[in-house]
Structures are given as structure tokens and as C-alpha cells.
Structure 1
Amino acid sequence: MLTQVFVTGTDTDVGKTIVSRALLQALAAQGTQAVGYKPVATECTETAEGWHSKDVQTLQAASTIDLPYAALNVRSLAEDEPYAAPADGTLLRRMSDGLATLKARAGCVVVEGCGGWWTLLDAQHSYADWVVAQQLPVILVVGIKQGGMNHALLTAQAVINDGLPLLGWVANRINPCLAHYAQTIDLLSHKIPAPLLGEIPYLPRAETRELGHFLDLSLLAR
């Protein structure tokens, strides 16, 4: 049974939040109490309650447990704010504490990363370091676009080299005009050593839609 999973991507803006939403909806359809967690969020906007991320709010809306924003996010950054935190380990500890709290409340926690696999959290630690420490299995989001195949293969290999299980990958069609889409999916299916869990088509305002039916979670058990 899937109790925790980390959603990483080939890059930023490839659809990690969309796929995380789809995972939450697919888990809910199976009767699992699932909650989304995005510890670090960028490009946030200021609200009356502080800096908030649309990505976190999307996960909050798709979770089956009603939790406050602060429970699903540790660090919200403005668009022009430096990303890396002070290298004293405080951020990583807060991320771990937040995950532990959510695991005690939910049947499954879907953790969404920020940027790519080796995005820096501080001067000494990458996001991958934290995921390895937490021993989170990984699902890879591949944004189907020009150059996406190279990034997909590099990221898949990096996850495996870091010793974590790559449960599967999801294709997100972020460029509807890209030629040779079917051939790209076929090539990646043969090259990535994990099952293709589903394909998210290009959809306007996908963050508001029902997406769970695009994924086949039965493939996770194979």
C-alpha cells in the first residue's frame, strides 16, 4: 500500500502540481485518505494570511483531509526572493517535522518537490538529500516538450543512482503542438526503467479539473 510518495519533475513548470493533484484524486477514488504536501513553494503572492502559493492551494483543495495552509507548506517564497535557505539545517528539520505530522493524519502523503531533482534547499543540501533521508519512493513527471526527453532520462537515472525506488513516471503534455508526441512516449517507455502510470493531456486550467482517471495506480504494485 502506498503511504508516501515524492513527486519530482524534469524541471520547473512541467506539471508536478497537476500530477500531484491527479495522484490525490486517484487515491481518494480508491478510498485512501490522502493529503498533499509542498514543503517549499516559490512564486507566491502576499495575502492577508501571509505569502501563499497557488500550487499549495491546489493540493489543499484536492486533499481528502481538511487542513490549514500552514500544515501543507513550510516555506513560501516571493518570486524575487532568494531560494536557498541558511545552511543550518533548520529548513530540513521543519520539512521533516511537517511530513511526520501529516503521515500521522493521512493514509498517504503526496509530497511535491520544487524545481528539479537536485534543486538546492540550502548551500549544503539538495532536495534529493532530504528525499533520500526520508526514504520516499519517487514518481517522475515528464513535461513533454522540446528537450524533455534528455531531462527525463537524466532525472530517472539520478533518482536510481541515489538509491530510491522509481515507482513510475507520468507524461504531461504541456505543449499541444509538439510533433511526434506518440513516438516520444514510446521511446521514453522503453528507456525509463519504471512503468508509465498515465498521460495527462493538454487541458486549460488543469488545476481545477478531475484528473485522477488519467492515472493507473495498479501499475505501482507491479
Structure 2
Amino acid sequence: MFFVTGTDTDSGKTHVAAAMLHKARTSYRMKTVGVKPIASGCERTADGLRNADARMLIAESTLKLDYNKINPFTFEPAIAPHIAAADIGVDLSPEEVFAQLDLTQYAMADFCLVEGAGGWRLPLGDNRYLSETVVALAMPVIIVVGMKLGCLNHAVMTEELVRADGLQVAGWVANRAQADMARFEENLASLKQMMQSPCLGVIPHLTEPSVEDMASYLDLTPLMQQR
């Protein structure tokens, strides 16, 4: 079980996580499941609040679970989850997030990804963070680097924070979400020098990204060696 975090909100971690699940189930013939514990910006449906990111993970999961097992905390407004939770009186403490994760069910998959929201220090309120739940579960972390100006600092700081919290960084993915990033190759070379964990892939800018296309740029071998 791996935790997927991003260098910022728009790093593309959901698309990358879905591509990893796709790669694991098609290239490695693994039973997969993707989990999105907390999601803001959800849509009201006949079945309740539903989140597009969670649905993307579900589409690439071979292990089919009830929606609330994949996305237990859903908030309609597209705002910081701890603010949305406070507005409706929902307990979003690290302990409650932990309690809502069905680890027994997730363990039935060969390859499980738990995707965060925002970056590593996603606030849950009362000076608590989602990273505390990840630490309690001792999950190795995958960092999705949104390739844009400032990403070198954000990537290195995220890796350092994860390590400072006592967790392993299993690897990182460079995702070129912005086509117009200046000196992309030079920045990528710098990132490869600065990061201590293995690069799992470099995804170029894709006009209409699909999980199949993105998966073709990924190498999950380092993750398979850590399972």
C-alpha cells in the first residue's frame, strides 16, 4: 500500500495515480484498488455526493468496493476540506480518517494506492494534518511533481518532510501539466540530481491525457521491489 501526494493541488496526482493503477493491472496483472479518503468539490447525485477523482481511481480498480469504502469523506464545496468539515460539523481528525479506512478490504488487492488531497501537509483542523494518518499506517510515499516554475523547491521540501516524518519515499513522478514550462529539460535534470528517491516516470504534456497514455511513461519496477 502506497500513499500518493503532490507538490501542490494542481500537480496531477489523480491522473498519475490512475495511470499507476492501470499499469499495475495491465502490465503486471495485479488486483488493484485506489482509495481517496478525503475529497472536496463533490457532485450531488441520486446516490449521494460523488467525486470525479475518486471515480477515476475506481475505474482503474479491479477490486470493486462500495463507494464509501473508497471515498469516506465527501464535501460538496471545492474548498479546503477542514473548512468544509467544520461547516457541517464533521470530525476530520487523523484518528477518524484512520478509522474510516477499511484496511482489511484494501489488503485483498495486490497493489493499493491511497491518494491524498493537496500536498503533504494537508490541514485537518486544530493543527492536525493528513500526514499523521499516513505516518500511523507507515505507508511508503509516492510524490507527484507538477512540473512548473517553483517545482524544484516544492519537490525537495516534500521529500525532506516525508523523510523527517519517518517514512520512506518510494519514488516520484514528473508530470508536465503545463506545456509552457521554460527550460523543462534542465529543470528535470536538476530534479533528478536533487531527489534522493527513484524517478518512476516522466509524463510529457498531453493535450487530452488518458490513463493509458500516461501509464506508458511509467516504470513501476522500483515499487514492485518494495512490496
In the superposition, the TM-score normalised over structure 1's length comes to 0.90
Change in Cα spacing, 1:101 to 1:148, as seen in structure 2 (3 Å) is same
Q: 1:215 aligns with which of 213, 218, 226?
A: 218
Say whether the 8 Å CA contact 2:7–2:144 is kept in structure 1: yes
Name 2:121's counterpart in structure 1.
118
Distance, in Å, in 2 between the alignment partners of 1:81 and 1:142 is: 22
CA RMSD of aligned residues (A): 2.0
Name 1:103's counterpart in structure 2.
106
SS of 1:18's partner is helix
Say whether the 8 Å CA contact 1:22–1:214 is kept in structure 2: no
Per the TM alignment, residue 23 of structure 1 is displaced from its structure 2 partner at its CA by 1.2
Matches of residues 163-202 of structure 1 in structure 2 within 5 Å? 163-202=166-205
Q: 1:158 aligns with which of 158, 161, 171?
A: 161
Q: Indicate the percent of aligned positions where both proteins have the same amino acid.
A: 37
Say whether the 8 Å CA contact 1:143–1:171 is kept in structure 2: yes
Name 1:20's counterpart in structure 2.
17
2:31 pairs with 1:33: yes
Change in Cα spacing, 1:33 to 1:184, as seen in structure 2 (3 Å) is same
2:61 pairs with 1:63: yes
Change in Cα spacing, 1:166 to 1:72, as seen in structure 2 (3 Å) is same
Distance, in Å, in 1 between the alignment partners of 2:55 and 2:91 is: 28
Q: Which runs of 5+ in 1 are unaligned?
A: none
Per the TM alignment, residue 210 of structure 1 is displaced from its structure 2 partner at its CA by 4.2
Change in Cα spacing, 1:89 to 1:70, as seen in structure 2 (3 Å) is closer
Q: Which runs of 5+ in 2 are unaligned?
A: none
Change in Cα spacing, 1:49 to 1:92, as seen in structure 2 (3 Å) is farther
Say whether the 8 Å CA contact 1:137–1:164 is kept in structure 2: yes
Distance, in Å, in 2 between the alignment partners of 1:127 and 1:137 is: 14
How many residues align? The count is 219
Distance, in Å, in 2 between the alignment partners of 1:179 and 1:26 is: 30
Distance, in Å, in 2 between the alignment partners of 1:80 and 1:93 is: 21
In the superposition, the TM-score normalised over structure 2's length comes to 0.88
Distance, in Å, in 1 between the alignment partners of 2:94 and 2:166 is: 23
Name 1:79's counterpart in structure 2.
77
Per the TM alignment, residue 203 of structure 1 is displaced from its structure 2 partner at its CA by 1.8
SS of 2:221's partner is helix
Distance, in Å, in 2 between the alignment partners of 1:144 and 1:198 is: 12
Say whether the 8 Å CA contact 1:176–1:202 is kept in structure 2: yes
Q: Which amino acid aligns with 2:179?
A: P
Say whether the 8 Å CA contact 1:139–1:167 is kept in structure 2: yes
Distance, in Å, in 2 between the alignment partners of 1:158 and 1:120 is: 15
Say whether the 8 Å CA contact 2:192–2:199 is kept in structure 1: yes
Which region of structure 1 is more displaced relative to structure 2, 66-75 or 48-57?
A: 66-75
Per the TM alignment, residue 209 of structure 1 is displaced from its structure 2 partner at its CA by 3.9
1:79-127 Cα offsets, whole Å, 9 max, x none, are: 2556214695666335444241332321221000000101112324201
